[in-house]
C-alpha cells in the first residue's frame, strides 16, 4: 500500500516535496472555509459542510481500515450511535457538546465488543462480520421504539444557538464541521507519525512478525478501533444536529458505511491526507449532480460512486496519493542491491567463556494430531553462548523454536527465561518472550512489505525506544551494522532474498535482545554473505547476547557454535562440542542412513 | 401444532429460495476465492430482466429463464474478465472487496436511475396460488423454487464430479499453479465459473420474480442472507449452502413467529456472527476451510 512514502519523506530525502505537500494541504483546508464564505450561497455551504463531515468520517475510518488494514464496512454503527446519543440527550435537555462525548463513550464500548471477536477474521470475512453487526444494530434501533423512535425516526427540539449546535445561518455549522475535520486529521496524523502507527501497519503487513517484535497486536488494534469509533461518533452527533432528524435506515446504513470507506480508497487508503482528498474530489461532483438534476437523478450519485470505485481499484489501486507520490518520489529509485559491507571486523572463533544460565528448556512435548513432533526436548542456554541446532529436514527444529518464542504452546514441559532482574520466569505469549528479551527470526522471511527497510527495523527498535526519533536513530545504526545502510529508504518488498534475510536479523537486533533465536538465516545466501553473517553473529555474541541458531550451513555451524544440539524425529540425539557431534554415529545415521555410519 | 407445521413449511420454502441465491455465491467463492458483494445485484438485474421480458412479451416468467440465465452468465463472465481478473494478483484483498462493492453500488443505483424507487410486480401467471400439502398451505411458486434448488444442487454436483470441465474447475480451485502445469487454462476456468455462478442466480431470479416485488435494493437483503447460508454451510460447499439455506429459512420463520417479526434479521445475523467467530468452517464443513482465520 501507499502509506510508507509519507513516512519516508519525513526521514529525509524529499523534504521539499514534503513541505510542498503540507502547503497544498493547508491551501486545501483554507479553501474549505474560504470558498463558501466568499460565494455565500446556502447550497455551497451545504456542500462544504458535507465535504468536511465525510472527510472527517473517512479519516477516522482510515485509522482502522487503512492503518490497521481491518476493512470495516460497518462504521455507520459508531456514527449512528453518536447521532442517537446526541439527539436523545438533546431531547432530555442536555447539550450535544456533552452528548457527543457520551456517544463517543458508548461507541468505544460497542467498537470493542464488535471488533474483539472479529480480529481473527481476515479481509472479506472481517468486512462481512462488520456488515452483520451493522444489520443487527439497525434492526435493534428499529425495534426499541421507546428509545429511538423506531422507523418513524427522531426529531430534535429546535433550540437555536451554539450550545445546541443548531443555527439559522450556515457559517457556524461549517465552522464546527471544519473543526471536527481538523481534530480527525490531527489524530490520524499523530497516530501515523508515532509508535502506534508503525505498530498498526506492521500488524497489518505481518501479524506474526509484529508479534515477534513485541507488538501487542490485539491491543494496538483495539486502540485503533476505539479511537476511530470515538471520532466517528462525535461527527455523528454533530451531523444529527445538522440534519435535525434521524432514522435507523439512514443512521445505520450500509451504503453510508461503504461511502465512508470509498473516500479513503479513492484518496489513498492508509495515508493521512487521502480520505480528505477523496471527499474533496467526489462530494462536490455528486452533490452538484443531485442539486442540478433533482429527484430525476435519484441514484445518479451512487452510480457515479460505484463506477469511480471500480475504476480506481483497477487503475489507481493506491488512490490519488499514489499518483502524487509517483511524481514526488520518482527520483528516489533504489538500484539493484549490491553487497554492502558489514561493519563487523573479521575474526575467528575463539573458545568462549560462557556465563550464567539464561534459558532453561525442560521436557518439551508436542503432538500435532498423531504426529509426535517434539519428544522430551530439554537443554540450557548460557549467557554469551552460541548454541547451534542442526538436524535433517522435518526433524522438528522450527517447532521447538516456536515453543521457545511463545508461538506454540508445548503440550508438556516448560521454558523458563532469566529476567534482567535475575528471576526465572515462564513467559507464555510472544509478547511475554519479547518483553523478557527473547527475539526471533523466521525461516521464511516475514518483512513488512509495504514499509521501508528503515521502518521495518524501527518496528523492532520501538521495543526499547518508544519515541520515533530514538527508534529511527537506533534503526539506522542497526541497518549500517547489518550492511543495509544504502537501502534505508527502499521498500522492503524490493530487497533480494539475501537482503531480506539480513533485514530479518536487523529487525530482531534492533530489539536489543538478550537471547536471539535465528532460524536458518544463512540458507540460500552466498558464500561471502555466509562469512559476513558468521562474523556478525560472533560480534553479537561478544556483547553478551546468547544465540540459538538453527542452521543447515555446516561451515557456519562448525565455526560459530560453542555447543551443538542435533534433533532428529523430535528428539535430541546428540549434543556437545561441534567437532565431536559431527563424528557421532547417531548423527551420521540420521543424516545419511545406516550404511554410512562406518564410512 | 398446525401453526407450527405451517411455520416449518414456510421456513423450508424460504430456505429453498435462499438456497437458489446462495448456490452461485458459494460456487464463485469456492473456486475463484472472491466474495462477490454484487451477487445480490445480479439477482436484482435478473429479476428486472424477468419482469421486462414477461410483461413485454406476455410470457410465463419461468420461460424467461431461458434468456435471463444466459444473460447473467455473460454479466458474470464479464465481471470476472474485466474487473476481477486484473486484480487476482493484487497484494492485499482490499481491492477485490472494493471492486465488487463498487459493482454492487453501481448496479443498484443504475437500477434506481432507470426504474426509479417504485417496485415492479412481475405477473404471477398462477404461481402465487396455494396448494394444500396435508395440513399446510404452500404457494405453488415456492414449491417450484424448492424443486429447482434441489435440481440445481444435484446438477452442479454431477457437473463438478463427473465432467472433464468440472474436474478442471475443482483442480484449479485446489491448486492454481499445479492446474496450470497440467495444461488447464485457469483464466478461462475462472471466467466460466463466475459466469456459472451468475447464471445460477439468473435462473433463481426468474423463479423468484413472480413471488417477490422487484426493487433496486432487493439484492442487498438477499445477498446478506445468502452470505449467512454460505458461511453456515461451509464456504465453497454447494450442498452445504443448500442445507445452510434451509436452516436459515427455518430460523427466519420460527424467530419471526416466536420472537417477533421485526427481530428476525437480528437473530439470523447473530447466528451468522457466532458461526463466523466460533466455527468458521461452518456447521456442515467436512473439510476445514480456515484460510481466512489466522493461526
CATH at residue A319: 1.10.3470
Alpha carbon distance A554, B2 (integer Å): 79
Q: What is the pLDDT of residues A446-498, one digit of tens each?
A: 889 889 999 999 999 998 899 999 999 999 998 888 888 888 888 888 888 87
- Cβ atoms within 10 Å of A65's Cβ, excluding its own: 28
Decide if A299 and B216 are in contact by the 8 Å CB cutoff: yes
| Neighboring chain A residues of B30 at a CB cutoff of 8 Å | none
Q: What is the model's pLDDT at position A12?
A: 44
Decide if B224 and A131 are in contact by the 8 Å CB cutoff: yes
Strongest mean pLDDT among A36-50, A99-113, A285-299, A467-481 = A99-113
The Cα of A326 is separated from the nearest Cα of chain B by a number of Å equal to 18
| Neighboring chain A residues of B273 at a CB cutoff of 8 Å | 117, 129, 132-133, 136
The Cα of B257 is separated from the nearest Cα of chain A by a number of Å equal to 15
Q: Is position A530 within any domain?
A: no
Q: Residue A238's domain spans which residues?
A: 4-328
In terms of C-beta distances under 8 Å and separation of at least 24 residues, what long-range contacts does A522-525 make, across chains too? Answer: A522/A551, A522/A552, A522/A553, A522/A556, A523/A443, A523/A551, A523/A552, A523/A553, A524/A497, A524/A498, A525/A497, A525/A498, A525/A501
The Cα of B219 is separated from the nearest Cα of chain A by a number of Å equal to 13
Decide if B277 and A262 are in contact by the 8 Å CB cutoff: no
Q: Are A34 and A255 in contact (CB under 8 A)?
A: no
Total of domains in chain A: 1
Q: What is the pLDDT of residues B204-230, one digit of tens each?
A: 999 999 999 999 989 988 998 999 999
Q: Which of B35, B105, B107 sits opposite A309 (nearest CB)?
A: B105
Decide if B293 and A120 are in contact by the 8 Å CB cutoff: yes
* A336 band by pLDDT with thresholds 50, 70 and 90: very low
Q: What is the model's pLDDT at position A596?
A: 64
* A286 band by pLDDT with thresholds 50, 70 and 90: confident
* B281 band by pLDDT with thresholds 50, 70 and 90: confident
Could you tell me which residues come within 8 angstroms of residue A365 by beta carbon, excluding any fewer than 6 positions away?
A372, A374, A375, A376, A410, A411, A412, A413
pLDDT at A15 over 70: no
Alpha carbon distance B82, B191 (integer Å): 10
CB contact residues (below 8 A), chain A span 247-306, against chain B? 254-255, 258, 261-262, 265, 269, 297-303, 305-306
Q: Are A89 and A237 in contact (CB under 8 A)?
A: no
Q: Write the ipTM.
A: 0.90
More confident residue, B53 or A285: B53
What is the count of residue pairs from A and B with beta carbons less than 8 Å apart?
A: 154
Sheet holding A412-418, edge to edge: A371-382, A357-368, A412-418, A424-425
CA-based nearest residue in chain B for residue A266: B98
Decide if B109 and A143 are in contact by the 8 Å CB cutoff: no
Q: Which of B97, B110, B272 sits opposite A303 (nearest CB)?
A: B110
Question: What Rg value do the Cα atoms of chain B yield, rounded?
Answer: 19
More confident residue, A341 or A81: A81
Decide if B92 and A69 are in contact by the 8 Å CB cutoff: yes
Q: Is position A570 within any domain?
A: no
Q: Is position A84 within any domain?
A: yes
| Neighboring chain A residues of B116 at a CB cutoff of 8 Å | 298
How many H helices and E strands in chain A?
25, 12
Alpha carbon distance B157, B160 (integer Å): 5
State pTM to two decimals.
0.88
CA-based nearest residue in chain B for residue A408: B295
Q: Which of B98, B224, B231 sits opposite A265 (nearest CB)?
A: B98
CB contact residues (below 8 A), chain A span 365-394, against chain B? none
Residues in a beta bridge with A564: A388, A576
Q: Is position A584 within any domain?
A: no
Burial of A506 (0-12, 13-18, 19+ CB in 10 A): buried
Alpha carbon distance A112, A226 (integer Å): 7
Q: Is position A554 within any domain?
A: no
| Neighboring chain A residues of B293 at a CB cutoff of 8 Å | 120-122, 125
Q: Is position A514 within any domain?
A: no
pLDDT at A222 over 90: yes
At A235, is the secondary structure helix, strand, or coil? helix
Q: Is position A266 within any domain?
A: yes
Instruction: Report helix angle A42-62 to A171-192, nearest 10.
Output: 20
DSSP assignment of B157-174 equals: HHHHHHSHHHHHHHHHHH
Q: Is A47's Cβ below 8 Å from some Cβ in B?
A: no
Alpha carbon distance A497, B77 (integer Å): 38
Instruction: Report helix angle B218-232 to B264-278, nearest 10.
Output: 40
pLDDT at B134 over 60: yes
Q: Quick one: cell of A179?
A: 473543526
Q: Quick one: cell of B9?
A: 413449511
Mean pLDDT is lowest, of A240-254, A286-300, A492-506, for A286-300
Q: Is position A36 within any domain?
A: yes
Amino acid at each position: 500500500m501507499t502509506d510508507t512514502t509519507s513516512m519516508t519523506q519525513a526521514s529525509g530525502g524529499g523534504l521539499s516535496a514534503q513541505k510542498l505537500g503540507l502547503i497544498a494541504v493547508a491551501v486545501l483546508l483554507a479553501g474549505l472555509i474560504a470558498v463558501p464564505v466568499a460565494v455565500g450561497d446556502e447550497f455551497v455551504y451545504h456542500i462544504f459542510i458535507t465535504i468536511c463531515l465525510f472527510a472527517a468520517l473517512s479519516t477516522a475510518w482510515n485509522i482502522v481500515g487503512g492503518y490497521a488494514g481491518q476493512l470495516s464496512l460497518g462504521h455507520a454503527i459508531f456514527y449512528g450511535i453518536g447521532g442517537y446519543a446526541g439527539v436523545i440527550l438533546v431531547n432530555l435537555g442536555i447539550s450535544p457538546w456533552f452528548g457527543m462525548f457520551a456517544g463517543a463513550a458508548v461507541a468505544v464500548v460497542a467498537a470493542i465488543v464488535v471488533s474483539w471477536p472479529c480480529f481473527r477474521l481476515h479481509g472479506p470475512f472481517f468486512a462481512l462480520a462488520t456488515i452483520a453487526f451493522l444489520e443487527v444494530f439497525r434492526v435493534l434501533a428499529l425495534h426499541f421504539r421507546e428509545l429511538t423512535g423506531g422507523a418513524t425516526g427522531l426529531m430534535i427540539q429546535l433550540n437555536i444557538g451554539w450550545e445546541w449546535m443548531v443555527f439559522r445561518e450556515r457559517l457556524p455549522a461549517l465552522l464546527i464541521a471544519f473543526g471536527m475535520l481538523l481534530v480527525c486529521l490531527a489524530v490520524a496524523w499523530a497516530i501515523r507519525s508515532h509508535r502506534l502507527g508503525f505498530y498498526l501497519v506492521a500488524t497489518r503487513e505481518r501479524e506474526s512478525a509484529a508479534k515477534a517484535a513485541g507488538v501487542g497486536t490485539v491491543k494496538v488494534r483495539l486502540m485503533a478501533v476505539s479511537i476511530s469509533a470515538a471520532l466517528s461518533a462525535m461527527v455523528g452527533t454533530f451531523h444529527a444536529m445538522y440534519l435535525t432528524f434521524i432514522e435507523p435506515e439512514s443512521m445505520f446504513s450500509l451504503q453510508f458505511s461503504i461511502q465512508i470507506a470509498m473516500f479513503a480508497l479513492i484518496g489513498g487508503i492508509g495515508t493521512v491526507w487521502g480520505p480528505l482528498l477523496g471527499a474533496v474530489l467526489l462530494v462536490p461532483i455528486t452533490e452538484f449532480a443531485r442539486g442540478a438534476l433533482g429527484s430525476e437523478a435519484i441514484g445518479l450519485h451512487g452510480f457515479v460512486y460505484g463506477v469511480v470505485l471500480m475504476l480506481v481499484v483497477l487503475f489507481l489501486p493506491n488512490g490519488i496519493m499514489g499518483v502524487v507520490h509517483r511524481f514526488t518520489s520518482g527520483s528516489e529509485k533504489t538500484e539493484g542491491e549490491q553487497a554492502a559491507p558489514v561493519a563487523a571486523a573479521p575474526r575467528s572463533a575463539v573458545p568462549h567463556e560462557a556465563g550464567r544460565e539464561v534459558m532453561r528448556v525442560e521436557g518439551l512435548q508436542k503432538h500435532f494430531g498423531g504426529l509426535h513432533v517434539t519428544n522430551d526436548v530439554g537443554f540450557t542456554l548460557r549467557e554469551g553462548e552460541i548454541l547451534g541446532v542442526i538436524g535433517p529436514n522435518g526433524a522438528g527444529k522450527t517447532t521447538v523454536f516456536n515453543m521457545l518464542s511463545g508461538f506454540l504452546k508445548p503440550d508438556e514441559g516448560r521454558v523458563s527465561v532469566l529476567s534482567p532482574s535475575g528471576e526465572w520466569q515462564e513467559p507464555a505469549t510472544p509478547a511475554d518472550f519479547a518483553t523478557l528479551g527473547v527475539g526471533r527470526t523466521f525461516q521464511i522471511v516475514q518483512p513488512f512489505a509495504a514499509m521501508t527497510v528503515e521502518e521495518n527495523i524501527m518496528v523492532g527498535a520501538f521495543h526499547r525506544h518508544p519515541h520515533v526519533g530514538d527508534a529511527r536513530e537506533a534503526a539506522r545504526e542497526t541497518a549500517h551494522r547489518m550492511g543495509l545502510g544504502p537501502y534505508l529508504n527502499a521498500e522492503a518488498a524490493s530487497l533480494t532474498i539475501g537482503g531480506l534475510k539480513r533485514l530479518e536479523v536487523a529487525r530482531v537486533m534492533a530489539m536489543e535482545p538478550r537471547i536471539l533465536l535465528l532460524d536458518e538465516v544463512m540458507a540460500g545466501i552466498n558464500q561471502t554473505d555466509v562469512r559476513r553473517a558468521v562474523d556478525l553473529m560472533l560480534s553479537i555474541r561478544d556483547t553478551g547476547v546468547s544465540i540459538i541458531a538453527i542452521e543447515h550451513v555446516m561451515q557456519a555451524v562448525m565455526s560459530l557454535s560453542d555447543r551443538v544440539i542435533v534433533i532428529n524425529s523430535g528428539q535430541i540425539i546428540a549434543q556437545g562440542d561441534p567437532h565431536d557431534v559431527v563424528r557421532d554415529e547417531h548423527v551420521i545415521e540420521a543424516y545419511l542412513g545406516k550404511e554410512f555410519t562406518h564410512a | 401444532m398446525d401453526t407450527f407445521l405451517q411455520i416449518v413449511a414456510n421456513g423450508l420454502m424460504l430456505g429453498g429460495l435462499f438456497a437458489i441465491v446462495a448456490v452461485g455465491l458459494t460456487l464463485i467463492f469456492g473456486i475463484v476465492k472472491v466474495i462477490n458483494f454484487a451477487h445480490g445485484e445480479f439477482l436484482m438485474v435478473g429479476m428486472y430482466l424477468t419482469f421486462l421480458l414477461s410483461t413485454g412479451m406476455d410470457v410465463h416468467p419461468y420461460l424467461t429463464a431461458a434468456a435471463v440465465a444466459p444473460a447473467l452468465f455473460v454479466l458474470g463472465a464479464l465481471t470476472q474478465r474485466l474487473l476481477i481478473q486484473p486484480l487476482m494478483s493484487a497484494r492485499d484483498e482490499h481491492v477485490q472487496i472494493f471492486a465488487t462493492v463498487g459493482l454492487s453500488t453501481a448496479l443498484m443505483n443504475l437500477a434506481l436511475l432507470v426504474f426509479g424507487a417504485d417496485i415492479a410486480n412481475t405477473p404471477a401467471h398462477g404461481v402465487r396460488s396455494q396448494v394444500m400439502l396435508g395440513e399446510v398451505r404452500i404457494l405453488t411458486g415456492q414449491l417450484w423454487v424448492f424443486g429447482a434448488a434441489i435440481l440445481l444442487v444435484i446438477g452442479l454436483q454431477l457437473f463438478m464430479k463427473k465432467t472433464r470441465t468440472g474436474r478442471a474447475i475443482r483442480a484449479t480451485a485446489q491448486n492454481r499453479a499445479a492446474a496450470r502445469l497440467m495444461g488447464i487454462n485457469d483464466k478461462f476456468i475462472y471466467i466460466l465459473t463466475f459466469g456459472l455462478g451468475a447464471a445460477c442466480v439468473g435462473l433463481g431470479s426468474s423463479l423468484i420474480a413472480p413471488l417477490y416485488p422487484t426493487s433496486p435494493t432487493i439484492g442487498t437483503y438477499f445477498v446478506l442472507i445468502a452470505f449467512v447460508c454460505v458461511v453456515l454451510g461451509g464456504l465453497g460447499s454447494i450442498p452445504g449452502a443448500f442445507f445452510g439455506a434451509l436452516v436459515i429459512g427455518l430460523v427466519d420463520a420460527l424467530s419471526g413467529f416466536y420472537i417477533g417479526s421485526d427481530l428476525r434479521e437480528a437473530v439470523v445475523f447473530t447466528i451468522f456472527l457466532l458461526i463466523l467467530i466460533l466455527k468458521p468452517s461452518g456447521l456442515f464443513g467436512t473439510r476445514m476451510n480456515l484460510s481466512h482465520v489466522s493461526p
